[in-house]
Copies of this chain bind each other. A is one copy, B any other.
Amino acid sequence: MGFLNQYFPVLGWLNTYTRQTLVSDLIAGAIVAIMLIPQAMAYSLLAGLPAEYGLYASILPLLIYSLLGSSRSLAVGPVAIASLMVSTAISTVATQGSSEYLNAAVNLSFLVGIILLFLRIIRLGAIVNFISHSVLSGFTSAVAIIITISQLKHVLGIEFPRATGLDQNIVALYTHLHQTNHITLLLSLLAFAILWLCKSKLCQTLNLLKLPLWFAQPLCKTGPMFVLLIGSILVWHFNLDQTKNVDTVGIVPQGLPNIGGIQIDLQLWQQLFIPALLIALIGFIESVSVGTALASKRRERIDPNKELIALGAANLGAGFSGTYPVAGGFGRSMVNHSAGAQTTIASAISATLVALVVAYFTPLFYYLPKAALGVIIIMAVIPLISISTFRECWKFNKADALTLIATFILVLILGVELGILFGIAISIALLLYRASQPHIAIVGRLGNSEQFRNTARHDVKTEETVLALRVDESLYFANTRFVEKFILHQCTDNPRFQHVVLICSAINFIDASALETLETLVSNLKDKGVILHLSEVKGPVMDQFKNTHFLKKLEPGQVFFTTDQALRTLTKT
Contact with B along A40-71 (1 / 0, CB 8 A): 00000000000000000000000000000000
State the CA gap A474–B439 with chains docked (Å). Answer: 10
B299 near A129 with CB under 8 A, answer: no
State the CA gap A528–B299 with chains docked (Å). Answer: 6
Q: Which of B397, B520, B544 contacts A397 (CB 8 A)?
A: B544
Q: Decide yes or no whether A19 CB sits under 8 A from chain B.
A: no
B544 near A427 with CB under 8 A, answer: no
A539 near B457 with CB under 8 A, answer: yes
Q: Which of B397, B506, B547 contacts A512 (CB 8 A)?
A: B397
Q: Given A392-B548, A512-B396, A548-B392: A296 and B482 within 8 A (CB)?
A: no
List A residues 382-413 near B (Cβ within 8 Å).
392-393, 395-397, 399-401, 404
B513 near A134 with CB under 8 A, answer: yes
State the CA gap A547–B538 with chains docked (Å). Answer: 36
Q: Decide yes or no whether A527 CB sits under 8 A from chain B.
A: yes
Q: Given A129-B478, A130-B477: A397 and B511 within 8 A (CB)?
A: yes
Which B residues lie within 8 Å of A393 (CB)?
512
Q: Decide yes or no whether A132 CB sits under 8 A from chain B.
A: yes
Stretch at the interface among A193-201, A236-244, A430-438: A430-438
* Whole-angstrom distance between the Cβ of A434 and the nearest chain B Cβ: 8
Which B residues lie within 8 Å of A510 (CB)?
396-397
Q: Decide yes or no whether A23 CB sits under 8 A from chain B.
A: no
A512 near B129 with CB under 8 A, answer: no
B432 near A512 with CB under 8 A, answer: no
Q: Decide yes or no whether A269 CB sits under 8 A from chain B.
A: no
Which B residues lie within 8 Å of A459 (CB)?
none
Which chain B residue shows the least CB distance to A395? B547
Q: Decide yes or no whether A88 CB sits under 8 A from chain B.
A: no
State the CA gap A457–B506 with chains docked (Å). Answer: 14
Tell me whether chain A's interface is mostly helix, strand or loop, or mixed: helix
B400 near A296 with CB under 8 A, answer: no
Q: Which of B506, B524, B544 contacts A506 (CB 8 A)?
A: B506
The size class of the interface chain A forms with chain B is 35 or more
A527 near B296 with CB under 8 A, answer: yes
State the CA gap A517–B314 with chains docked (Å). Answer: 28
B129 near A396 with CB under 8 A, answer: no
Q: Decide yes or no whether A293 CB sits under 8 A from chain B.
A: yes
Q: Decide yes or no whether A126 CB sits under 8 A from chain B.
A: yes
Q: Which of B477, B512, B523 contacts A296 (CB 8 A)?
A: B523
State the CA gap A292–B395 with chains docked (Å). Answer: 42
Contact with B along A115-150 (1 / 0, CB 8 A): 000000000001001111110000000000000000
Which chain B residue shows the least CB distance to A540? B457
B400 near A511 with CB under 8 A, answer: yes
Which B residues lie within 8 Å of A297 (CB)?
527
Which B residues lie within 8 Å of A400 (CB)?
511-513
State the CA gap A245–B397 with chains docked (Å). Answer: 72
* Whole-angstrom distance between the Cβ of A463 and the nearest chain B Cβ: 22
Q: Decide yes or no whether A381 CB sits under 8 A from chain B.
A: no
* Whole-angstrom distance between the Cβ of A570 and the nearest chain B Cβ: 22
State the CA gap A260–B214 with chains docked (Å). Answer: 82
* Whole-angstrom distance between the Cβ of A423 and the nearest chain B Cβ: 12
Q: Which of B126, B399, B401, B472 contacts A436 (CB 8 A)?
A: B126
A residues with a Cβ closer than 8 A to B are 126, 129-134, 292-293, 296-297, 299, 301, 392-393, 395-397, 399-401, 404, 427-428, 431-432, 434-436, 439, 457, 472-474, 476-482, 488, 492, 506, 508-513, 515-516, 520, 523-524, 527-528, 538-539, 544, 547-548
**A to B CB contacts below 8 Å, 17 in the list:** A126-B436, A129-B478, A130-B432, A130-B436, A133-B512, A292-B520, A301-B492, A392-B548, A393-B512, A396-B515, A397-B510, A400-B512, A427-B477, A431-B432, A435-B435, A457-B538, A472-B506
Beyond A396-B512, A431-B478, 19 extra complex contacts between A and B, CB < 8 Å: A129-B480, A130-B478, A132-B476, A132-B477, A132-B512, A134-B511, A134-B512, A296-B523, A393-B512, A396-B515, A397-B510, A401-B512, A404-B512, A427-B477, A431-B432, A431-B435, A431-B476, A434-B474, A434-B509
Nearest 5 CB-CB pairings of A with B: A132-B477, A133-B513, A400-B512, A395-B547, A296-B524
